[in-house]
C-alpha cells in the first residue's frame, strides 16, 4: 500500500506528536563527550530538578537490574556508588518512560520493556564484541523504536490495524506496517528524528535498525542495535505477541556486517549469549513490573 500523503504531512509537521520530555535530548547530548570530560554536577542537576524523574531513577537504581550493594537514597549518592555512566543510562531510560503514557493499543509497559531490554542487550553485546562505546549502544537501543510512538500518535487506527495483522500472522511489525500504512516505523522515526534532533548516530539507528545494510554511516552501531532488537523479539520481549520465523543469524545483514568488522565476533558464542540474554530479559520484566505495575 502506498503511504497516505496526509499521514506523511502529519508526521512532518509534528502535529499530534507527544511532547518530548525536557531532559531527554540534553541527557543524550552528554553522550557526545567522552566520559572523563562529563560534567557530573550538570547531569545530577538535570535529573534532580525533575522530582518524579529522580524518584523513578532511584527506584531503578535500587532494583535487581542495576542492583547496588547498598541502598541509594539520592542521585548524588547513586553517582558515588554506581558511577556516572550507569546513572546517566538510568536517567535516559526514565525520561524516555515519560513519553509513553499517551500510547494506545500498545501497552506502555510492553513498549518500555522492549526498549529497555534492547538497550541492555545492546550494551552487553557491544561490550562482548569490542564495539568501542557500549553506553551509546544502550541509548540507541532504548530509542530505536521511537518511530512507533510517531505512528501511534499520527495514525492510531491504521497502526492498530497493522498491529492486528502482525499479531494474527506472527510477522515482524515493520512488515505489517509496510502493508497497512505504506510506511514503517523506521521511516516514521527518520522523520521525527529530523524534528527532535537526537545525536546523529542515534538518528541512524532509529531510521535503519531493521535494514542496517541501508545505513550510510554508523553501520556498526545500527547493526549492534538491529541484532539486539531481533534477540529481544525472539526471546519474548517484543511488541506483545510472538513472531514465528526461522532465523538464520548467519544470513542476517546485521550479523554479517558485524562479523566483517569485529575480530572478537568470530569466536563469539551466540548460543551462550542468547542464554545469558534470557536472564537479563527476565530482570527487565521484574523491573518493569516494579516501576510500571506489570507488563500487560
Q: Which is nearer to Fe ion, 136 or 144 (CB)?
A: 144
The upper half-sphere exposure of residue 69, i.e. CA atoms within 13 Å in the direction of its Cβ, equals: 4
Interface stretch with Fe ion, choices 3-11, 218-226, 227-235, 282-290 (CB under 5 A): 227-235
Of 145, 210, 166, 149, the closest CA to residue 11 belongs to 149
**Residue 11 Cβ vs Fe ion, minimum distance, rounded to whole Å:** 16
**Total of chain residues touching Fe ion, rule CB under 5 A:** 2
Site string for Fe ion, 171-210 (x = CB under 5 A): ----------------------------------------
**Residue 230 Cβ vs Fe ion, minimum distance, rounded to whole Å:** 9
Residue 67's contacts (CB-CB under 8 Å, 6 or more residues apart) are none
Q: Are 43 and 91 in contact (CB under 8 A)?
A: yes
Helix axes of 84-97 and 75-82: crossing angle, nearest 10 degrees: 130
Q: Are 203 and 195 in contact (CB under 8 A)?
A: no
Q: Which is nearer to Fe ion, 46 or 255 (CB)?
A: 255
**Residue 128 Cβ vs Fe ion, minimum distance, rounded to whole Å:** 20
**Residue 122 Cβ vs Fe ion, minimum distance, rounded to whole Å:** 11
Q: Are 233 and 101 in contact (CB under 8 A)?
A: no
Q: Which three cell numbers stand for residue 81?
A: 556508588
Report if residue 229 touches Fe ion, rule: CB under 5 A: yes
Q: Which is nearer to Fe ion, 30 or 280 (CB)?
A: 280
> Rounded to the nearest 5°, which phi and psi values hold at 14?
60, 15
Interface stretch with Fe ion, choices 46-54, 56-64, 225-233, 285-293 (CB under 5 A): 225-233
Q: Are 59 and 52 in contact (CB under 8 A)?
A: no
Of 46, 40, 55, 48, the closest CA to residue 24 belongs to 46
**Residue 147 Cβ vs Fe ion, minimum distance, rounded to whole Å:** 7
- CA gap 146, 267 in Å, rounded: 33
Interface stretch with Fe ion, choices 15-23, 86-94, 226-234, 277-285 (CB under 5 A): 226-234
Site string for Fe ion, 138-157 (x = CB under 5 A): -------x------------
Report if residue 243 touches Fe ion, rule: CB under 5 A: no
Residue numbers at the binding site for Fe ion (CB under 5 A):
145, 229
Amino acid at each position: 500500500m502506498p503511504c497516505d500523503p496526509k499521514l506523511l504531512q502529519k508526521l512532518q509537521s509534528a502535529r499530534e506528536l507527544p511532547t518530548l520530555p525536557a531532559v531527554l535530548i540534553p541527557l543524550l547530548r552528554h553522550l557526545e563527550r567522552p566520559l572523563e570530560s562529563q560534567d557530573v554536577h550538570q547531569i545530577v542537576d538535570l535529573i534532580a530538578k525533575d522530582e518524579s524523574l529522580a524518584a523513578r531513577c532511584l527506584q531503578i537504581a535500587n532494583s535487581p537490574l542495576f542492583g547496588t550493594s547498598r541502598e541509594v537514597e539520592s542521585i548524588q549518592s547513586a553517582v558515588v556508588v554506581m558511577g556516572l555512566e550507569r546513572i546517566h543510562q538510568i536517567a535516559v531510560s526514565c525520561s524516555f518512560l515519560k513519553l509513553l503514557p499517551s500510547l494506545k493499543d500498545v501497552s506502555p509497559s510492553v513498549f518500555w520493556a522492549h526498549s529497555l531490554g534492547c538497550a541492555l542487550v545492546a550494551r552487553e553485546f557491544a561490550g562482548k564484541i569490542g564495539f568501542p562505546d557500549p553506553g551509546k549502544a544502550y541509548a540507541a537501543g532504548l530509542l530505536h523504536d521511537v518511530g512507533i510512538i510517531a505512528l501511534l500518535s499520527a495514525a492510531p487506527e491504521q497502526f492498530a490495524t497493522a498491529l492486528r495483522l502482525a499479531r494474527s500472522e506472527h510477522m515482524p511489525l515493520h512488515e505489517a506496517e509496510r502493508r497497512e500504512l505504506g510506511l514503517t516505523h523506521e521511516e516514521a522515526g527518520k522523520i521525527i528524528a529530523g524534528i527532535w534532533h537526537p545525536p546523529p548516530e542515534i538518528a541512524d539507528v532509529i531510521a535503519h535498525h531493521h535494514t542496517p545494510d541501508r545505513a550510510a554511516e554508523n553501520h556498526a552501531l545500527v547493526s549492534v542495535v538491529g541484532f539486539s532488537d531481533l534477540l529481544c523479539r525472539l526471546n519474548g520481549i517484543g511488541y506483545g505477541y510472538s513472531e514465528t520465523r526461522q532465523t538464520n543469524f548467519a544470513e542476517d545483514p546485521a550479523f554479517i556486517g558485524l562479523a566483517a568488522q569485529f575480530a572478537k565476533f568470530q569466536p563469539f558464542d551466540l548460543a551462550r549469549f542468547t542464554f545469558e540474554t534470557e536472564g537479563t530479559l527476565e530482570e527487565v520484566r521484574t523491573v518493569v513490573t516494579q516501576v510500571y505495575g506489570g507488563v500487560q
